[in-house]
Amino acid sequence: MPGIAPAPEVPLHHGPHAVTLRASLRAAVALDAMPGGFAAVWDGLAGQKLTTLHAVIRAAATDRAEAERLIAHTATHPLAQFALCAQAACLALIAAYLPVDQGKAPLSSAPARPIRDHLADLYRFGTGWLGWPPSEVWNASPAELEAAVLAHVDRLVMMTPDAEAPEDAAARNAQRQANIAVGLDPEFERDALRALKAKHCA
Q: What is the pTM of this model?
A: 0.70
- Mean local confidence (pLDDT), 177-189: 61
pLDDT band (50, 70, 90) for residue 63: very high
- Judged against a pLDDT cut of 80, whether residue 87 lies above it is answered with yes
Listed range (62-76, 132-146, 155-169) with the worst mean pLDDT: 155-169
What average pLDDT is seen over the chain? 80
Q: What angle do CA 198, 145, 58 make, to 5 degrees?
A: 155
Q: What percent of the chain has pLDDT over 90?
A: 45
Residues 6+ apart with CB under 8 A from 97: 23, 28, 38, 142
pLDDT band (50, 70, 90) for residue 70: very high
- The DSSP code for 135 is H
pLDDT band (50, 70, 90) for residue 155: confident
- Judged against a pLDDT cut of 80, whether residue 123 lies above it is answered with yes
Buried b (16+ CB within 10 A) or exposed e, 5-37: eebbbbebebeebebebbbbbbbbbbbbebeee
Listed range (53-62, 90-99, 155-164) with the worst mean pLDDT: 155-164
pLDDT reported for residue 112: 73
pLDDT reported for residue 183: 61
What is the per-residue pLDDT across 89-106, written as a single tens digit (0 to 9) for each?
999 999 988 876 545 555
